[in-house]
Structure 1
Amino acid sequence: MLAAFLVWDRKVVKDNVAWRFISIICVVVWGMIVAVVYGFIDIDIQSLMKQLNMDIVIPLVVYLLIINTVTFILFVVDKIKAIRRSYRIREYVLLMACFLGGEIGGLLAMIVANHKIRTWYFLFGLPFLFLVHGAVFLYCHAAGIV
């Protein structure tokens, strides 16, 4: 599905950007489910309760702080540009920053700057993306990666 986007649908416009991100999230979730069903990953409660590998968690936390700060700044700058009616930051860039882990910064900017609160894929997509990222983290933890 993702290869089809790259080959046949190269033009990113406002109408299809949300569906691209939904498709990417669905492919990730589908891959996680397939890995569990076919036994590539064994998930049980005991594996979720084991100690976190701090050598991986500390850089992950630093990365998340940086990407959330950048995402927050991008949303606020876009709001300022919207007020001044100047060149805007593309929604694709905002969604990509959230997809890379900055959904908390995006949600905070939506609340603080009152920006993108009427756009359905920001309003519902960012909390859903937060849940997907949490599930991916638990999945990686159960697999022994984190």
Structure 2
Amino acid sequence: MKVYFEMFKLNIMGFSIAQFTFWIYLILINIVCYVLMGYDKMKAKNKKSRIRESTFFILSWFGGGLGILIGMIIFKHKIKKNKFRIGIPIIYILTRILEIIITRRLMIIN
């Protein structure tokens, strides 16, 4: 058990491994969400099958809200739909609060 907790005390750029892994996860999921918004916009222009709206909401709950928001703005995609215009920012704020709580908990481990 001691070895397990010692592993989390290692530092990478001032972060514990758990914190560093968490931040890398958030960066990657937001990049994926941003790319998916662009891909969906391209599919919409070409009148091809699209990514389900529920997929974007699920990804947003898993931490990809910022990527979806940036994608909505940059690609001007789904900005007229109220459930995206209102829903995604609300989910982003809620998940941001959760990210802060998780990050603080990970600092306690360190």
Bin for the TM-score computed over the shorter chain: 0.7 to 0.9
Structure 1: 5+ residue runs without aligned partners?
Answer: 1-51
User: Counterpart in 1 of 2:86?
Assistant: 124
1:49-128 mapped onto 2 (5 Å cutoff): 54-128=16-90
SS of residue matched to 1:124 = helix
Q: 1:137 to 1:65 in 2, by over 3 A?
A: closer
Structure 1: 4+ residue segments shifted above 3 A: 138-142
Identity %: 28
One-letter code of the match for 1:61?
W
Write the deviation string for residues 41-93 of structure 1: whole angstroms up to 9, x where unpaired: xxxxxxxxxxx962221101110111011111111111011111111111111
Q: CA RMSD in A?
A: 1.8
Structure 2: 5+ residue stretches without partners: 1-13
Number of residue-to-residue matches in the alignment? 94
